[in-house]
Amino acid sequence: MNLYLRAPVVCAALYFTIFGVSAAIGQDPTLLAKVEGKKTDTTTAAVAPAKPLVESVLPNYYDPQDGMSVDELIKRALASNQEIIASRLEIDKARARLQQARLRPNPTLEFERESGRPVGSGGDSQFTVGFSLPIEIYGRRSARVSAAQISIEASEAEVRNRERVLVANVLTNYAEALGALRELDVTERLLDLDLQTTRIVQIRVNEGETPPLELNLLQAEVERLRSRRQLAEGRLQSAITQLKLLTGVPFDDALRLREQIDAAVLPTLPATKEAAVDIGLRTRPDVALAQLEEQVASAGLRLVRAQSRPDLTAYTRYSQGRSTYDAPTAPFSQRDRSLTFGVAIGLPLFNKNQGAKAEAEISIRQAQARREFAERAVRGEILAAYQRFEAASRAVSTLQIGAIPRSTQNVETFRKVYEIGEIKITELIAEQRRLLDATRDLTEALTLRYRSQADLSIALGAGAFLPEPK
């Protein structure tokens, strides 16, 4: 399955914050008049930096051209994860058991020599050659083969379920990495703005236009943003380390992401919850495994019942004897010979596999209970993920359309008004914190939307990510 990647798009609100939108000032005519009526301070304008003051660490974790997409990470995880490789060998073991189940029982060859005289005296001697062959009746062989064939299907379903769980772990950590990447980006940009403002405030303090307290307050806010930047980078590093563990990438090698959470795309989901539940029940490998385990238990019971029937063995024996009293030169025809055919039947009088039958019947009931629980669990997972996705989508829409643009405009307005000396730095910092909280809420909502969409894909069986069964 190929995911369709859109070009990374940074939220409009973020660009408002970074580059500033003068139109935001125009919403308040009074403030606009104050800003326009204020003479530009040439000293202040001269210190405006030509480049960002914060050296971004994003290139260490994000590369839109050469970074790894979620598809590439999943393919690498499925190909290199040692637990998955080991579980696939269980399929080979099941096939070997099928090969063994198809074999027929081995015959038995007997040889016997008998002397009818005391040692050193005359008498008779005889030797016997026997051949016996067990004959499987009551469908024993077919029951054994059927159980082995179902075991292969169960092993394949188990492997696909393990692959599904692995894909889920990759998607979870990928979502965490994308969320931390966005928070790191937003924090770095806000930190750069505050550092630029700090330079301006420092000049004002030096010129006696602004009290030192405002500079201290702004510097405290800068340090607060630095700490948030460190926390966001730590989250990002932790998620990437987990991705390296899951995908087999050496821990010392760099792993960069290709996508941003604003534009990350997953497979299209069913239109309704009911359709999603129906698909999940048909495609989930763990549901298929539970159904196959029920079939395995039923096949086991048929095999036990067949084994409780009488055993049948066909045999033949050839005997030849010679008396020491016979002349050594006597013709061969005078020697005693016999050929015997027969059938031996094992009578299940005492051992009728009573315990094995009871155990097999209990195994069937256990498998039925597990299947019912698996089907119920699938319904619950799909409905819960669908609800989380819908709630997160609504939250993202609300924040992108309402809260973020308004808060961005407010910060830009407050920043312009602060530059003309109409408000205190504490008011600007408070408004900026509200914007930071709003952007963090948006990051959490975007992350939750991505994770819930990923959870839905996994709850549906992760068919879009898993290789086709062989």
- For 251-304, the pLDDT digits (tens) are 999 999 998 888 877 777 787 888 888 888 888 888 888 888 888 888 888 888
* Nearest CA-CA partner of 403 in 364, 453, 444: 444
How far apart CA 320 and CA 49 sit, in angstroms, is 115
Task: Check: CB of residue 74 under 8 Å from CB of residue 167.
Answer: yes
Number of domains observed in the structure of the chain = 1
Handedness of CA 151, 152, 153, 158 (dihedral sign): positive
| Structure tokens, 158 | 């188990």
Note whether residue 448 is domain-resident: yes
How far apart CA 352 and CA 264 sit, in angstroms, is 62
Note whether residue 385 is domain-resident: yes
Note whether residue 313 is domain-resident: yes
* Nearest CA-CA partner of 406 in 418, 394, 416, 398: 398
Note whether residue 6 is domain-resident: no
Note whether residue 268 is domain-resident: yes
Note whether residue 470 is domain-resident: no
DSSP one-letter code for 223: H
Note whether residue 257 is domain-resident: yes
Note whether residue 1 is domain-resident: no
283 Cα distance to chain centroid: 16
φ and ψ at 134, to 5 degrees?
-65, 140
Q: Residues in the chain, how many?
A: 470
What's the confidence (pLDDT) of residue 205?
87
- Answer yes or no: pTM beyond 0.85: no
Q: How many CA atoms lie within 13 A of 359 on its CB side?
A: 7
DSSP one-letter code for 154: H
CA-to-CA dists, residue 313 to 41, 108, 341, angstroms: 111, 10, 11
What's the confidence (pLDDT) of residue 275?
86
How far apart CA 431 and CA 331 sit, in angstroms, is 124
How far apart CA 417 and CA 411 sit, in angstroms, is 10
What's the confidence (pLDDT) of residue 62?
92
- State the CATH number of the domain containing residue 251: 1.20.1600.10
Instruction: Give the residue ranges of DSSP H helices in 2-120.
Output: 12-19, 29-37, 42-46, 70-80, 82-102
What's the confidence (pLDDT) of residue 116?
60
How far apart CA 298 and CA 371 sit, in angstroms, is 14
| Structure tokens, 239 | 């998620």
Instruction: Give residue 427's domain range.
Output: 12-459
The low-confidence residues of the chain, meaning pLDDT below 70, are 1-51, 115-124, 322-335, 463-464, 466-470
Name residue, tokens 């696939």.
88
DSSP 290-313: HHHHHHHHHHHHHHHHHHTSPEEE
Provide the β-strand partners of residue 130. Answer: 110, 317
